Amino acid sequence: MRVLHIISRLGAGGAEQQLRLLLRHVPVRCDVVALAAPGRTAHGIRTDGIPVTHLPVDGRAGELRALPALVRTIRSGGYDVVHTHLYRACVLGRIAARLAGVRAVIATEHALGARSVDGRPLSPAVRARYLAAERLGSATVAVSAAVADRLRDWGVPNHRIHLVPNGIDAGHFRFAPAARTAARARLAIPDHAFVVGAVGRLVAAKRFEVAVRAVAAVPGARLLLVGEGPERPALEDLAARLGAADRIRLLGERDGAVAPPDDRPAGLPGLLAAMDVLVSPSAEEAFGLAALEALAAGLPVLYTVCPALDELPASAAPAARRVAPGPAALADALRRQLAAGPRRYPVPEKDRAVRHRPRRPPPHGPLRPRHHLRPGRLPAGPRGGDTDGARRGARRAHGVSRRLRTAVRRRAPPGGRAVAAVRTAVSGYDTALAAARPAVRPEKRQPPRKVPSSDR
C-alpha cells in the first residue's frame, strides 16, 4: 500500500509533529507533499527516510496553479490512499485526489475551532469551501470530541466522522534535572527564577497577549514563549510597553515531539524542563497538544480551554488546573503557583503506559521487515469473465485492507510503541478504503431449472 500525506505546511506546529510521529510508526509506504516552503519538520521527516515534496501555495491564484501539479503527483505515485492535514491541504488534497482517481481519501482535522479553522477566521466562504471539499473524501478524523461536535454542527454526516485523539511520545518529554540545568544555563536564567512557559503558533487565536500581560503583572516572573507566527511583532511591542521586555523572551520555533536527545537543551523537551509552569490562555482549541506535552514533563498546567484535558476526569491529570479567561485571573493563578514553589508531578497513568515502547522503523528505511508491504503488490482477485470496473475496485480495496491488517498483526509486538499509532492509522485507512468501495450487490444465483419427468 502507498499513502500520500498532503499537509498545508511543515513548520514546528502540533499537526506537523503529529504527522511525523505517525510516519515513524505506521507500517506502510508513505510520501509527503507540503503546500508551503520547507520548514523545521520537513527536515526531520527527510531525516527519517521519507520523501518530502514542496508545492508552495500563496493565495487563491496559487491554489489554482498548484492543483494541476498536485493531481500529476498523485497520479504518478500510484497511491492507494491520500491523507490530508490542515485546512488548505484538506480542500486542495480532496479535490486533487478525486481528479486523480483515488477513491480512498482521509482527512485529519487538527485545527477546527469555534471561531477559526487553522488560524483563518470562520466566514461563510471558508465554511462553504470546506464542506464542498469534504464531500469528495471518504472519512474525516476529528482529534477531539469537541472537533467532532463542530463537524456535526456544520452538517458533516456522523458516519463520516471518526474520533482519533492525538498522542505523544512521553519519553521525549520526561523531566531530567540535568536538562533543566543545561537549558537555564543556555538561556542565562538563574536557578531560583520563576519561569512561565507557553508553546504554540503566534496567531491571534492563541491569545498569547494574555500570558504576556499576566507575567508582566507578577514581579520577578519570566516568560519563555516558544513558537513563531504573524503576532510576534505585536507581542514584542506589548512586552516593551509593559516594561517587561527583559523578562519576556520569544524563542521562535523549536523541534518538539521527536527531538533527538542531544538537542534537549535547545529543543522543546529541554525548554519544558527549564519551566516551572506552562500556561495555555487560548479561548478555543481543537485539542491542546502543548498541555499534554507539559504534563508528560511533570509540569503544572494552567489553561483556559483544552479539549484534551476537558474530556478527561480531573483525577487523570491532577497537575492541570482550569483558570478563567483574562490576564487578571491568570496572574492570580501564577502568584499562587509562585508561592507554592517549584514542583514536578508524576506523569499521568495513560502516558506512563506507553512511555518506554520502542520505535518501529519506517517500512522503506534501512531495515526492511520480512513482511514489508511492497508498493504495487496487491492481492489479485479472480480474473476472467468479470470486466466490471466497480467490482474490481471493490475487490482491490478489500485486498489492500486485508493485507494491511495481516501485516500489522505480524509486525506490531505486544507492548511495542507502534501498537497504538499503527492500529489508529490502520483503522483510519481501513475506514477510508471501506468508504471508497462501490456498493456492489452480489448477483443472485438462479436455482437450477427442474426438468419435467416427461422431458427426461
Q: How many domains does the chain have?
A: 2
* Residue 445 forms part of a structural domain: no
Please answer whether residues 64 and 72 qualify as being in contact, where contact means their C-beta atoms are separated by less than 8 angstroms: no
Query: How do residues 355-364 score in pLDDT, each as one tens digit?
Result: 333 344 444 4
Tell me, yes or no, whether 116 and 247 share the same domain.
Answer: no
Q: Is the pLDDT of residue 161 over 60?
A: yes
pLDDT at 76: 93
The torsion defined by the Cα of 395, 398, 404 and 406, in degrees rounded to 10, comes to -100
Residue 444 lies in a domain: no
Residue 74 forms part of a structural domain: yes
Q: What is the mean pLDDT of the chain?
A: 78
pLDDT digits (tens, 9 = 90+) for 297-335: 999 999 999 998 887 777 778 899 999 999 999 999 999
- Identify whether residues 346 and 373 lie together within a single domain: no
Do 195 and 269 fall within a single domain?
Answer: yes
Rounded average pLDDT over 125-129: 90
Say if residue 174 is in the same domain as residue 124: no
- Do 316 and 212 lie in a common domain? yes
pLDDT confidence of residue 438: 43
Please check whether residues 15 and 116 belong to one and the same domain: yes
pLDDT in tens, 177-224: 999 999 999 999 999 999 999 999 898 889 999 999 999 999 999 999
Within this chain, do residues 282 and 367 fall inside the same structural domain, yes or no?
A: no
pLDDT in tens, 368-401: 332 333 333 333 333 333 334 434 433 443 443 3
CATH number, domain with residue 408: 3.40.50.2000
Residue 454 covered by a domain? no
Residue 456 lies in a domain: no
Residue written as grid cell 524563542: 251
* First-last CA distance in the chain: 55
Residues 341 and 370 in one domain: no
Q: Is residue 450 part of a domain?
A: no
> What residues make up the domain containing 367?
1-167+363-378+388-438
The reply to whether 135 falls in a domain is: yes
Residues 105 and 48 in one domain: yes
Please check whether residues 432 and 286 belong to one and the same domain. no
pLDDT at 268 exceeding the cut of 80: yes
pLDDT value, residue 247: 96
Does 217 share its domain with 292?
Answer: yes
What band does 59 get if pLDDT is binned at 50, 70 and 90?
confident
Q: What are phi and psi of 133, to 5 degrees?
A: -75, -35
Whether residues 230 and 369 fall in one domain = no
In a domain, residue 16? The reply is: yes
Enter the pTM of the model.
Answer: 0.72
